[in-house]
Amino acid sequence: MDEVTRMPLLGDKFPEMEVKTTHGVIKLPDHYKGKWFILFSHPADFTPVCTTEFYAFQKRYDQFRELGVELIGLSIDQTFSHIKWVEWIEEKLGVKIEFPIIADDLGKVASKLGLIHPGKGTNTVRAVFIVDPNGVIRLILYYPQEIGRNMDEILRAVKALQTSDKNGVATPANWPENELIGDKVIIPPASDVKTAKERLEKAKAGEFECYDWWFCYKKL
């Protein structure tokens, strides 16, 4: 019986694969072992929206690296196309793309990661995989070809994931600029009656704040 390949899900290990990139052959996820990395796909080289995205990613590359995050791009173009496009970006736009780009000209990587959606054509959609230092997929975003991504939101998501991991908390909508609790973080809801009562008592003692026992938050 043929093996059925499914799209990776949150909490899955990033699939092991050897990829050809503009920086040489890389084994994923081992190449980034112990680091966070973001793999993002783009529909095609030498296209306007993709060009603006690569420019935007590179302009924030130092911010990603400050968070211990590496970037790696992907499309179903060949290596020589990636190289010429990167040269064009540097020559015309004055920005040197420093991160590698996967040349998936046979579409095997795109197929394995679920990046080609037949309803949106034969090119890869704009996907984002945020992978933690253990090689686990923590966040996945999919955008259609016609919509460029918000790089600041991707940076925000990384910061939120790292904050959650480090402190055992959740982050609210638009964190750190939430309309209700600002830059504070949410304490996981109580899972039993005893803890629920203790939450309100601790809130009265000033350890943290609560709207109710199931909605408590604090300043880090």
CATH number of 29's domain: 3.40.30.10
* Amino acid occupying residue 220: L
Report the number of distinct structural domains present in the chain: 2
The predicted model scores a pTM of 0.93
- pLDDT of 179 strictly over 70: yes
What is the distance between the alpha carbons of residues 191 and 212, in angstroms, rounded to a whole number?
14
**What are the residue ranges of helices labelled H in the chain?**
48-59, 61-66, 79-93, 108-113, 151-167, 193-204
Residue of 50, 71, 113, 216 marked active site: 50
Helix (H) or strand (E) holding 140: strand 137-143
Give residue-wise pLDDT tens across range 37-52: 999 999 999 999 999 9
Closest residue by Cα to residue 103 from 120, 85, 118: 85
Average pLDDT score over residue span 15-25: 96
216 is catalytic: no
pLDDT tens digit sequence for 92-103: 999 999 999 999
Owning domain of residue 115: 17-150
pLDDT score recorded for residue 3:
44
| Amino acid 1: pLDDT | 37
Does 1 map to a domain?
A: no
Q: What is the pLDDT of residue 2?
A: 40
pLDDT number for residue 161? 98
Residues 115 and 57 both lie in one domain: yes
- Report the distance separating Cα 41 and Cα 143, nearest Å: 10
Predicted confidence (pLDDT) at residue 168 exceeds the cutoff of 50: yes
212 and 111 in a single domain? The answer is no
- Predicted pLDDT at 189: 87
Residue 5 in domain: no
